[in-house]
Structure 1
Amino acid sequence: MLFQTKRIILRKMTAQDTEIYHKWRNDIDVMQTTSPLLDVYRIEETEEFVNQIILGSCSSKCYIILEKQSKKPIGITSLINIDPKNRNAECIIDIGEKEAWGKGYGSEAMKLLLDYGFLEMNLHRISLRVFSFNSRAIKLYEKLGFQQEGRSREAIFRDGAWHDIIHMAILQSAYIEQMREK
């Protein structure tokens, strides 16, 4: 599966992505705003995770984000916990290359992932979780049409303080309506 915009390409994760993904998942700056656990992973753990994705877990779809011109991997985005019966999934995104931060790549990748989830997979609802201190991500998700549905109070400890995890989601009907308006 291949998706693209003028600046990025999404492609399925492969075994060749293990090393770069291992680098990102062990970078505290990258995981600070997205991962509840700031663990250090052994390469064997990352290899096992990537192999599970490659073997086609039907409950997740994982894509590497490539900068189109250079073909350089800059991040990863996924639909996880896919529930085909209820047509629900959760989405995740990490821009792993710091020089790609703040350039709109995350927004483009999320739009491609939502297009796939709603228009190809015919999902009814896509949700996500975001840390309350990650105001840039919250702003992006709201711009894409996600609505806050609740919060887990003081569920994450970062930099000496407790923070909430905000639960957000977007429905297929709202996403399609938003597309028509643009």
Structure 2
Amino acid sequence: MKTEIVKVTKPTAQFIDVLNRWENDRELIPLIRPNKNQEEFERRETITLDRVRERLEYQEIFQIRVNEKIIGEMNYMVDPPHLFKQEPGTAWIGITIGEPEGRGKGIGFEAIQFLEEQIYQQGFIRIELGVFEFNRKAHQLYQKLGYEEIGRLEDFTFWNGRMWADIRMEKYL
């Protein structure tokens, strides 16, 4: 199994189709976006080519591929307003392993290490992220990679009949 990470510079229709499938997958929705209530959880999104082009103006986006199939996406942006700790020069990261065959095989571990190297090469030494409280596997992965909890935003997202916290974590490179 060959993992390849590809920087997105010109989003394709195929990539948009994959993102839309993940964005509207009932299993992934609670992991990839906050929801204030059941109605928001039930809401479906449409990601457009223009929306991804807009994201590219302030984010670096990468596809995670295995045997040429897109199985995940990751990104980072610098100094977004939603940082828990407003420290200038901080990269905020996000990662989605959208395809089930890509989970639990170390691909996320490898992908985040790649992202950290990209961020470091750009001259940034601090990374922050958020992980929903119920996403224990991701939380454990980040801990294994050296991320430490710096705070919690209580009642941040709705899933499985209740509200959960967003755990904010950081790592200095």
Specify the TM-score bucket, using the shorter chain as the normaliser.
Answer: 0.7 to 0.9
Alignment-derived partner of residue 47 in structure 1: 49
User: 2:2 and 2:114 mapped to 1: Cα distance?
Assistant: 12
Q: Is the 8 A contact 1:34 1:131 kept in 2?
A: no
Q: Does residue 36 of the first structure (1) align with residue 49 of the second (2)?
A: no
Equivalent residues, number:
158
Q: Does residue 135 of the first structure (1) align with residue 133 of the second (2)?
A: no
Alignment-derived partner of residue 8 in structure 1: 3
User: 1:168 and 1:136 mapped to 2: Cα distance?
Assistant: 14
Which structure ranks higher in relative contact order (CA pairs < 8 Å, sequence separation ≥ 6)? 2
How far 1:19 sits from its partner (Å)?
1.3
Q: Percent identity?
A: 28
- Show structure 1 runs of 4+ deviating over 3 A: none
User: 1:147 and 1:103 mapped to 2: Cα distance?
Assistant: 23
Q: Is the 8 A contact 1:90 1:128 kept in 2?
A: yes
Q: Is the 8 A contact 1:30 1:95 kept in 2?
A: no
- One-letter amino acid of the structure 1 residue matched with residue 107 of structure 2: Y
Q: Does the residue aligned with 1:90 lie in a helix, a strand or coil? A: strand
User: Residue deviations 1:112-165, cap 9 Å, x none?
Assistant: 0011112x1111211000011111001100111100000011221111012111
Q: Does residue 18 of the first structure (1) align with residue 13 of the second (2)?
A: no
Q: Is the 8 A contact 2:79 2:92 kept in 1?
A: no
- The CA RMSD over aligned residues, in Å, is 1.9
What TM-score results when the alignment is normalised by the length of structure 2? 0.84
How far 1:21 sits from its partner (Å)?
1.4
Q: Does the residue aligned with 1:157 lie in a helix, a strand or coil? A: strand
Q: Does residue 64 of the first structure (1) align with residue 66 of the second (2)?
A: no
The 5 A counterparts of 1:17-166 are 17-37=15-35, 38=41, 39-42=43-46, 45-53=47-55, 56-57=56-57, 59-67=58-66, 70-80=67-77, 82-83=78-79, 86-118=88-120, 120-166=121-167
How far 1:92 sits from its partner (Å)?
0.2
What TM-score results when the alignment is normalised by the length of structure 1? 0.80
- One-letter amino acid of the structure 2 residue matched with residue 96 of structure 1: G
* 1:94–1:73 distance in 2 versus 1, CA, 3 Å: same
For structure 1, the residue ranges without an aligned partner over 5 or more in a row are 1-5, 173-182
- One-letter amino acid of the structure 1 residue matched with residue 157 of structure 2: I
User: 2:7 and 2:48 mapped to 1: Cα distance?
Assistant: 16
Alignment-derived partner of residue 38 in structure 2: none
